[in-house]
Structure 1
Amino acid sequence: MQIKRILWATDGSIEAEEALKYAVLLAKEYSAEIVGIYISSTKIKNLYSDLYLLRKKLFNNLVKTDELNLEARFNSIKSKLRSQGLDFTSNILRGEASTRIINFAQSEKADLIVMGTRGHGLLDKVLIGSTTLKVLKKSKIPILAFKRREKKRPGIKNILVPIDVYEKKGSALEYATDLATVINARVFVVYSIRMVGHLYSIPSVLNELIRDSSKELIQRVEEIKVKRGLNSKKASDLRIKTKVLHGINPAVAITDYALARNIDLIVINTHSRGGIKKLVLGSTAENVIQSSHCSTLVIRP
C-alpha cells in the first residue's frame, strides 16, 4: 500500500482542523503530499437557506469573505508544513460538497481522503448523514473519517479491524496490516456474532461457533501475512490479536470492544456479504462509524 497524496477536506470547523493533524501524521510516515480543499458556496447556502430575502450582493460578499479567510488559513498551513518538510497545496471550489470532493480526489489521484465527522456544532449523526456519508457511500478512494476525542493527542497505536469470517474480501485487513507495519501499531481483528434466540438457549452451539470462528480469524490473518509478503521478521514484529465477539447488535459489540481496548482507529469495509453495495442506514458498517468513539478508515472493496 502506498500513500503519496492525501486529500484533506475542510469546512473550517474545529473537527476539520483536528483531522489535519492526522493527515500530517500519515504524510510524515509515508512522505506524502497533502492537498487541502474547501467548498465555499455550499457552506454559505446551508447557513442562509432560510433567509430568502438575502440580497445577491450580500451573498456574494459573504462568499468572497469566506474564501479569503480560507485562503489565508491555507497559506498559513503551507508555511507551517513547509518548515516540517511537507508539501501542501490547496484549492477553493464551489458546488455541491460531496460531489466536488469525490471528483477532485479522483482528478488529483489522491490515495486517501481525510475528513472531520462533525462541523459547525452539529451532532455527529447529522453531518455523517449528509456530506461525509455521501462521500463514504460514493468514493472509491479510502476515507479517514476523523472523530474528535477530548484530551487525545494525535496518534495511532491501536487499530481495530471488524471482519466477516465468511466474506473473502480482505481489503480492510490488508490495509490495516500495511498501515500498522509502517506506523508500528497493534492490530485487533474481530468478528461479531449476531445473537439470536437459539444461541442463547443452547450454549454448546454458541461455544462451537466461537471456536470455529476463532480458527477462521487466525487463518485469515496468516493468509494476509503471506499475501502482503511479510517475511518472518516483519510478521513477528506485527502485533495482531484476534477475538470473536457476540451480542444482539454486532455494531454495539464492536464499538464497546473498541472503547475497552482504547482503539485509535477502526478500519472497516463498506459492505457485508449480505449484498449491500454501499453504506446504508442500519448496516453494521455505518452503525460502527456513527457510534464509535474514535476515527474510522473506510475501505470500499
Structure 2
Amino acid sequence: MKKIIVPVDFSEHSNYALESAAILAKKYNADILALHMLEISETILTKGETDLQAETIFFMKLAEKRFSEFLQQDYLEGVNVTPIVKHFKVFSEVNDVAQQHNADLIVMGSHGSSGLKEIFVGSNTEKVVRHAEIPVLVVKNKPTNLSFDNVVFASDFSENAVTPYLNASKLFEKLGSNLHLIYINTPGDNFSSSSEMEQTVADFLQKADGNLDKLSEVKFISDYTVEKGVLNYANVSGADAIAVATHGRTGFAHFLSGSISEDIANHASLPVVTFRKK
C-alpha cells in the first residue's frame, strides 16, 4: 500500500477518516492524498465568465486556507500529505483522482443513515462507494486501535464476485489479515439447501483460486437478511472489519434495487471495506 486518498469536507467524520489513514500510512509507509471538492453554487455558475473566474479563484483560496489549517493535526506528524482541491463537487471525481495517482485505497468517514433520508438522499460516502474502482474503507468512529487482523468477507459467491474476492484476498494478504469467508442464506426466493450452497461455493473457489483449499473454511450462516447475517457474525466472531463486494449501481437502478453492501456500510459500527464488482 503506497497511496491513500481521503476526501475531506472538514467534518468530524472526515477527521476520523484522515486519522485512520494516518495510522495506515505510518504502518505501511504510505502517502496520503487529502482531497477537498469545492462546491460552487448555481448562482456563481450562472454568472459571466470573468465574474465566474474571479469568484472561483476567491473560493479556491478560501478552501486552500481552511484546508491547510485542517491538515495541522498532530496525528499527521511524520506522514507525507499532499492536499488536492477540486473545483466541483462531483463524487465520480474521487475515483478519477484515485486512477490518476494510482492510489491503493480510499478512506472515508460516514455517520451512517436510516429511513427515508437514506433512500432519497443517500450520503457522500455511498456515492463514492458506487463509483470507486479501488477499495473504499468506511469508518464511523474515531480510530483507537485500527486493525485488520480478522476480516469478515461476505459474498454471494456468484461469478461477478470473483474479482472483488481476488482483490480483497490480495489486499488483506498484504495487510497480514486472517480473512473469514461467509455465505449468508436467507429465507424466500434466495434460499438454498446445504448441498446447493456448498456447490455454489465450490464452483466459485475453483474458478477464483483454481482449487478448493478454502472450502472447509467457509462459514454458512442463516439469517433473515444478508445485512443482519453479516453484522451478527462479525459481532460474535470478534472481527476487526467487514469486507463486501458492491455492484456500483447508480441512479434509478440503485433506487429500485438498493445495495446490500451500502446498507452494511451504513449500519455497521466496524470499519467496512468495499470492493466493486466488474
What range describes the TM-score normalised by the shorter chain of this pair?
0.7 to 0.9
Runs of 4 or more above 4 Å deviation: 56-66, 79-82, 125-128, 218-227, 276-279
Aligned with 1:257 (options 208, 220, 233): 233
Aligned with 1:32 (options 24, 30, 33): 30
1:18 is matched with: 16
Q: How far apart are residue 277 of structure 1 and its match? A: 4.8
Q: How far apart are residue 266 of structure 1 and its match? A: 1.7
More off after superposition, 6-15 vs 30-39: 30-39
8 Å Cα contact 1:113/1:142 also seen in 2 = yes
8 Å Cα contact 2:19/2:75 also seen in 1 = no
SS of the residue corresponding to residue 66 of structure 2 reads helix
Aligned with 1:116 (options 89, 109, 116): 109
1:285 is matched with: 261
Residue ranges of structure 2 left out of the alignment (5+ in a row): 43-51
Letter in 1 for 2:86: L
Q: How far apart, CA to CA, are the structure 1 residues paired with 2:161 and 2:93?
A: 29
Q: How far apart are residue 289 of structure 1 and its match? A: 1.9
More off after superposition, 262-271 vs 123-132: 123-132
Q: How does 1:1-301 map to 2 (within 5 A)?
A: 3-41=1-39, 65-74=62-71, 76-77=72-73, 81=76, 83=78, 86-118=79-111, 124-125=113-114, 129-148=122-141, 152-167=144-159, 169-196=161-188, 209-214=193-198, 216-217=200-201, 220=204, 224=208, 241-271=217-247, 277=249, 280-281=254-255, 282-301=258-277
C-alpha spacing 1:198/1:254, structure 2 compared with 1 (3 Å)? closer
Letter in 1 for 2:222: H
8 Å Cα contact 2:152/2:181 also seen in 1 = yes
- CA offsets, 1:42-87, max 9 Å, x none? 6xx69xxxxxxxxx9999988755541221233x35x86463xx42
8 Å Cα contact 1:171/1:269 also seen in 2 = no
Aligned residues: 257
C-alpha spacing 1:219/1:157, structure 2 compared with 1 (3 Å)? farther
Letter in 2 for 1:9: P
More off after superposition, 174-183 vs 212-221: 212-221
Letter in 2 for 1:12: F
C-alpha spacing 1:222/1:187, structure 2 compared with 1 (3 Å)? farther
C-alpha spacing 1:198/1:109, structure 2 compared with 1 (3 Å)? closer
Aligned alpha-carbon RMSD (Å):
3.7
Q: How far apart are residue 93 of structure 1 and its match? A: 2.6
- CA offsets, 1:254-295, max 9 Å, x none? 122122223222221112xxxx85682533222222222222
Q: How far apart are residue 195 of structure 1 and its match? A: 0.7
C-alpha spacing 1:92/1:192, structure 2 compared with 1 (3 Å)? same
Q: How far apart, CA to CA, are the structure 2 residues paired with 1:104 and 1:168?
A: 25
SS of the residue corresponding to residue 148 of structure 2 reads coil
8 Å Cα contact 2:243/2:274 also seen in 1 = yes
> Identity percentage over the alignment?
20
8 Å Cα contact 2:152/2:242 also seen in 1 = yes
8 Å Cα contact 2:137/2:272 also seen in 1 = yes
Residue ranges of structure 1 left out of the alignment (5+ in a row): 47-55, 200-205, 228-234
Q: How far apart, CA to CA, are the structure 2 residues paired with 1:187 and 1:34?
A: 26
C-alpha spacing 1:80/1:253, structure 2 compared with 1 (3 Å)? closer
SS of the residue corresponding to residue 174 of structure 2 reads helix
Q: How far apart are residue 192 of structure 1 and its match? A: 1.1
8 Å Cα contact 2:110/2:266 also seen in 1 = no
